[in-house]
Structures are given as C-alpha cells and as structure tokens.
Structure 1
Amino acid sequence: FDLVLYNDSDSIGTKNIHAACRVLDLHDIAHAWPVMQKTNFLRKLFSARMKKQLRKSVSSFDGIFTSSAGLSTYFEQHFSIKSTVVLNLRNSNSLPRPKTKKIGFFGRIRDYDAMVLLIESCKKIGFSPIFAGDGPCVDRLTKNYPNIDYRGPFDENELNELMAEIDIMYALYNPERENIRRGALPVKMFDAAAFGRPTVTTANTPMGEFCLKNKLGTVATFGDVDAVSNAILDAYELDVVVNHTEEDEQKKFMTVIESILDTHQEGSS
C-alpha cells in the first residue's frame, strides 16, 4: 500500500500490513476503554500495555490526526504527540422538526446509568425517548424497561429516518470517564446539528463547553434528573445553525495526506 490509515491506537498492533506511509487517527482514548466500565488487575494491565505500545509506535507514523482540540492537547502532553485536529462533521441536511417532544439516543449503548437518566428525565417532563444502536447495555436496558422505544441497530441510510422523528439529541456522558474529561466530542452532536437538532450534553466538560460556544445545544449535570429535564426543555426551544462544513475538515485532512505522500515521493526519487 502507498498509505495505511490506522483507526485509533488499538489498531496499531495489526500485523502483516506493509505501507510506504502510515497515518494514525486518534479519535478517542482507546487505552481508557478497558477500565471504563470495570476495573481489575487484568484490565489495568491491558490498558497499561496499550499506552506503552502507543508511546513505542508514535515515531513510526508519518502523520497523526485527533478529533478535538482537547484530545490533541492530551496526547501532546502525555505522549509528546503532535497532531492535526479534524472534526467529525457532516454537511447540513436540516429537516423540519416534528415538535412531538421526542428525544433520541442513536449510537453505542454502553452507559446504563446515562440511559436511565434520560428515561427518568423524560418521565418528569412528558417527553418520549427513542433509542437506537447496539452495545453491552442493550439487554439490561430493555429487560428493566421493556416498554421503551428501542429500534435496534441502525445504518447510515436509516439515520435520516430516525432524525426526522426527534426534536433533540441526547449525548450526556459520565464526566468521570477519561475520554470525556480529556476532550472527546460526540459524533452524534455533530450529526444532530447537521439535521437541525440541538443536543443535550454534559456540563463542565470540554464537549459541553464546545456545545455552548457553538450554540449546538444545552448542557446538564450528569446524574441530576432536574438539571437534565430543564436542559431538554431549553433545547426544545433552540434552533441550531451549522457554521462549519464537512469540506472544511476534509480539506485539512487531505492537505496533511498529500503532504505526507509528496514527502515520501521526493525521498524515493
């Protein structure tokens, strides 16, 4: 291959792939995932090995991308990694909002407490949540809340239909999670904005600050039903306008890729 793009740091150990140029996309903190839900000796050991492998491999990459300014700062401070920030944007495809008091969570269902928080907050103010996606907490959630509107896994083609049904996106995460504290930005927030939907996300986190600064939605304290309920009501009245385009981010991405390939070609000639 002329170039291989590695999808996050958990892919850098992939064997038998030979490329003239190697690029790493650090869109999350992969070594934080093993210790996110449960913490024991084996999980800590696995996480530590992932960190060690990342540090060892950094110099072998010709370019590195991150998906937010916060993650870029984290990887520079802790791993001496210089990166280019490329946001996970999509072009605006605004749909009429149905105004039926429906709020969606579309994505990996990993955090049971966050899902319960949405359900209980909606009960308080007469909203209806819609869940779509797979994940380790699906069975527990549907067992304990058998009457919720769960649509199962979905693909890109079905996302338009799901977005058309909701007024608000839910992207509230536990701020104790390392990737949330360090600056990860939820793709579903950008997806929602592209379809003209505001997002409710976590207060006092980089994602919450980004959300407010760019007028993409409202924020609430994780675990506080009253705060989440109020944030949902505020978001219901909010209009979202996207000021950045997918092409802006693609241009940044391709500028780096073309520079890497040009440098390699010059070195080979």
Structure 2
Amino acid sequence: MSGAKEALTIVICSDFGAVTGGQAKVAIESAIGLKKQGHRVLFFAATGPADTSLAEAGIEVHCLGQHDLLGNPSRIAAAVQGTWNWAAAAALDRLLDSLPRENTVIHVHSWAKALSPLIAQPIRKSGLPAVYTLHEFFLSCPNGGFYNYQKSEVCTLTPLSPQCWLTHCDAHNYARKLWRNARLLYAQKLARLPEAFSDFITISAFQRRIVEPYIPAGARLHRLSNPVNVEDPGQKSDPTAGDIVFVGRLSPEKGTFLFAEAARKIGLVPTFVGDGPIAADLAARFPEARLLGWQKEEAVRRLMRNARALVFPSLWYEGQPLTILEAKALGLPIVVADTCAGSDEVEDGVTGLWFKSGDVDDLARALAELRDDARVTAMSHAASRAYWAEPKTLDRHVDGLLSIYRGMLDARRSAVAGRQPIQNRAAPIEAAAP
C-alpha cells in the first residue's frame, strides 16, 4: 500500500505547454502545486513554447513544439495530426518507458487539439494507471460540446448515431464535422482511448450527469473542482456600484449576442471584457455596448471586483466555468443560464439569478431585477460567504488529486497481487476532496 508521505511520479499530458485557456491553466497550475508538495512532476505537451513557470518550479518539461490543429498552416497535416500524431505517441512512449513502475501515474488534461487519440497506445503499453480530467466532452461528442453551432442550441442527438452523422453542427463546415465524427469513431473503437484510463475526473455535478453514461465500464469516476487563484478581498464595501459585465470569449455559443439583446430591451448598457471572433459584429450591431477588449488577468479581476454583477449567458453546457467561481470569490451576484454547468455554483435568488437558457426575455427579466440595490447587496454578500466557506484553492485541488492518484496506485497493486478486482462500474461513485 502507498504511504501518505510517498513521493509520486506524475506525468501530466496537455495539448498546450502554455496557458491558452482553462484546460492548460489548470494543468500547469496543478503541476506546480504537485511539485511544491515534493512530488516528481513531468509535463508533456505537444505545442510550445512551454510556460516558463514550469521549469522555474523544477518541473521536467517535455514540449514537442508542434502546431495545434487550428494553428497548422496545412489543413491536411492538421487532419492527420489530429487523428494520428505519431511523433507525440512515440515521444510519450519513450518517456513512460523511462519511469519507475511502482509509484507513477499519468494524468491527461487534453488530447483533441494537438496530441490525438494515439496517446492511448503508449499509455496502455506502459501499464501505468491513468486518469483523464473531463474539461470538455471530446471523448463522447465529436465537436466536444454537445452543441449545434449552426442552430446555436444544445444537441441531444446520440453521438455517432446516423442522425449525428447527417447533422451539420460544426462551427466551420460539414466536412470538418465528418472528420471529427471519423476521429471519434477511431478514438473509441480502434485506438480505444477511453479504455486507456482507469479513472476519470469530472469538474462539476452538472457535467457528471452529462458524461456518466459514456464512461467505460470498470472505470472510476471522481468529482474534483478546478482550482481558483483568488485571494479573499473581503465583502464589497459598495456592492451596487459599477456595471453589469460579461467576461470571456466573444463567441456565439457564449451567449454574447443574447446579453446584448436583453440589455437593449431594458435600456441597459452592456459591458464586455474579452475578445473573440464576433467582436466586430457585436460592435456593429450594438454600438451602445462597452467593449473593453482583452485585458491582463490583474485588470480583469479589478474590473470584476468593481462590477455590480456578472452575466454568464452561455448557450452550451460548459464544464465548470472558472469565471463564475472567480466572480463568487470577488463578491459578485451572477446571472447564469439554467442549462449551463455554471448554475451549480449559483443559488437562484440567493447568490445570483437563473434564467431560461437562450430566452432573451427571461434574461432581460433577470437583468431588470438587478436594479434593486438592496437585493444586489444581499446577493453580493451571500456569494462571498458561500465561496469562502469552501474556497477552491490550489492546495485543496492538489490534495484531491493526490487522493485520487494514491487510490489508483492502490487499486493497481491490489489487482496485480490478486487480492481484489479493480472497482467495477456498479460501485458507488467516489467523491474526492472539494
């Protein structure tokens, strides 16, 4: 059995070596947190350059310097890499072969934007226990979101069913949709990528309900929140000051236009912090909107802290929106779509308001309710109390990871020794540290 103080060897795999979004940020921050607790951490990434904070923390970085799929100048090369990234598979194979077998675990954060399903081969060959964090839905849905980008609505079709193959749901074109379907079919049936993992981590209760039917039989399913790097600023002295803001990528599935339309209905000037492919269209259609563009992290936190409320009108499921957690920590009431994973973190009428997803009139109704100063103040204080009662700190996240890792190693040792079978699907779902 593994001792509580046993130093582990942890291989963290990520499409990206630098912070390009929430997945990579969590992978990098958790790697640094694990290293600080005395474990050997190796960070394996397809794209570079790697974030300098990794090497500075003493982490062994293996970055291949490849293109991600969207950044590849050749569409054909991107399609091949996205399905069969032989270079990444070979490099991962060499790395895993060099590591001790007794106390090593593999943790994959992403594969669909650079690494490809071929990473299943070296993981399976190594015999090491491996866990995958379900930041998105690429293991079960071709476009990774259970979302129809053409109709701007959640997709309820069975993945890879005949109806799925015939439906153009991709954000770009039907040809890419067909390629993504073919890649998922390959990942599931030939590469058997889902079966390479003994364990899976979901990041919200909402997400777990979506992915549970697609988890392979015999795998263990854990719940562990992503970490949030926010210091406690205390309750806001004037919760009613400031604008109602949207923070994030300006894209249709994020509900950007929905917020602008709802704000116009009640005569509210909407404020957008972020950038994205529809920024110019948003400015043209809603000239009254305040578009602050991309901001550094410190500036975003300052803008959020000084805001009256956050609006999170996402039209798709999401996984666990870090923006919502940050807003709670900063004492902001949050207006959130009811069919979004962010609703897990908002108690309707207490720490924020729910509205019917995609319904511009219901969102306008929720925004109008934020004109009540007393109610905004009460929700602001409640949001702050709720978050800081159980903060999603990096230390708590790392403790949860180590509990999962050690459980994986114990299960493998027990299975090898023949003392007991690896937990089957019918067993209760494990709960990791919050």
Question: What is the percentage of aligned positions where both structures have the same residue?
Answer: 19
Match of 1:196 in 2: 331
Match of 2:197 in 1: 61
Residue pair 1:21, 1:62 contacting (<8 A) in 2 also: yes
**How many angstroms apart in 2 are the aligned matches of 1:59 and 1:155?**
39
Q: Using the TM superposition, give the Cα deviation of residue 67 of structure 1 relative to its aligned residue in structure 2, in angstroms.
A: 1.2
User: Given the alignment of the two structures, is residue 3 of structure 1 paired with residue 141 of structure 2, yes or no?
Assistant: no
Given the two structures, how large is their TM-score scaled by the length of structure 2?
0.51
Alpha-carbon distance change, 109 to 95 in structure 1, aligned in 2, over 3 angstroms: farther
Q: Which moved more, 1:255-264 or 1:226-235?
A: 255-264
> Which of 202, 205, 209 is residue 73 of structure 1 equivalent to?
209
1:81-139 CA distances to partner (integer Å, 9 max, x unpaired)?
A: 53211123535444624523511111112217822221232234443322122322223
**How many angstroms apart in 2 are the aligned matches of 1:14 and 1:78?**
17
Q: Helix, strand or coil: the match of 2:390?
A: coil
User: Given the alignment of the two structures, is residue 151 of structure 1 paired with residue 297 of structure 2, yes or no?
Assistant: no
**How many angstroms apart in 1 are the aligned matches of 2:410 and 2:11?**
12
Q: Using the TM superposition, give the Cα deviation of residue 14 of structure 1 relative to its aligned residue in structure 2, in angstroms.
A: 6.9
> Which of 127, 143, 162 is residue 32 of structure 1 equivalent to?
143
Given the two structures, how large is their TM-score scaled by the length of structure 1?
0.78
Match of 1:252 in 2: 400
Q: Which runs of 5+ in 1 are unaligned?
A: none
Please tell me the root mean square deviation across aligned C-alpha atoms, in Å.
3.5
1:146-189 CA distances to partner (integer Å, 9 max, x unpaired)?
A: 44211222332222222123111111122xx4xx1xx7342221
**How many angstroms apart in 1 are the aligned matches of 2:357 and 2:411?**
47
Q: Which moved more, 1:101-110 or 1:257-266?
A: 257-266
Residue pair 1:105, 1:170 contacting (<8 A) in 2 also: yes
Match of 2:116 in 1: 13
User: Given the alignment of the two structures, is residue 83 of structure 1 paired with residue 221 of structure 2, yes or no?
Assistant: yes
**How many angstroms apart in 2 are the aligned matches of 1:206 and 1:22?**
25
Q: Using the TM superposition, give the Cα deviation of residue 145 of structure 1 relative to its aligned residue in structure 2, in angstroms.
A: 2.8
Residue pair 2:339, 2:357 contacting (<8 A) in 1 also: no
**How many angstroms apart in 2 are the aligned matches of 1:233 and 1:147?**
18
How many residues are matched?
262
Q: Which runs of 5+ in 2 are unaligned?
A: 1-8, 13-106, 151-167, 417-434
**How many angstroms apart in 1 are the aligned matches of 2:325 and 2:197?**
28
1:1-34 CA distances to partner (integer Å, 9 max, x unpaired)?
A: 8412322352551768977654321112233348
Q: Using the TM superposition, give the Cα deviation of residue 69 of structure 1 relative to its aligned residue in structure 2, in angstroms.
A: 2.0
Higher relative contact order (CA 8 A, sep 6+): 1
Query: Which letter maps to 1:226?
Result: D
Residue pair 1:120, 1:225 contacting (<8 A) in 2 also: yes
**How many angstroms apart in 1 are the aligned matches of 2:349 and 2:202?**
19
Query: Which letter maps to 1:87?
Result: S
> Which of 369, 382, 386 is residue 234 of structure 1 equivalent to?
369
Query: Which letter maps to 1:186?
Result: P
Q: Helix, strand or coil: the match of 1:246?
A: coil
1:43-84 CA distances to partner (integer Å, 9 max, x unpaired)?
A: 432332353355311222243211112322332212325321
Alpha-carbon distance change, 50 to 129 in structure 1, aligned in 2, over 3 angstroms: farther
**How many angstroms apart in 1 are the aligned matches of 2:130 and 2:224?**
17
**How many angstroms apart in 2 are the aligned matches of 1:114 and 1:191?**
19
**How many angstroms apart in 2 are the aligned matches of 1:251 and 1:112?**
34
Query: Which letter maps to 2:257?
Result: V
Query: Which letter maps to 2:149?
Result: Q
Residue pair 1:110, 1:136 contacting (<8 A) in 2 also: yes
Residue pair 1:28, 1:67 contacting (<8 A) in 2 also: no
Query: Which letter maps to 1:120?
Result: E
Match of 1:219 in 2: 354
Match of 2:260 in 1: 119
**How many angstroms apart in 2 are the aligned matches of 1:118 and 1:160?**
21
Q: Using the TM superposition, give the Cα deviation of residue 207 of structure 1 relative to its aligned residue in structure 2, in angstroms.
A: 4.1
**How many angstroms apart in 1 are the aligned matches of 2:195 and 2:342?**
29
Task: Identify the structure with the greater helix proportion.
Answer: 1
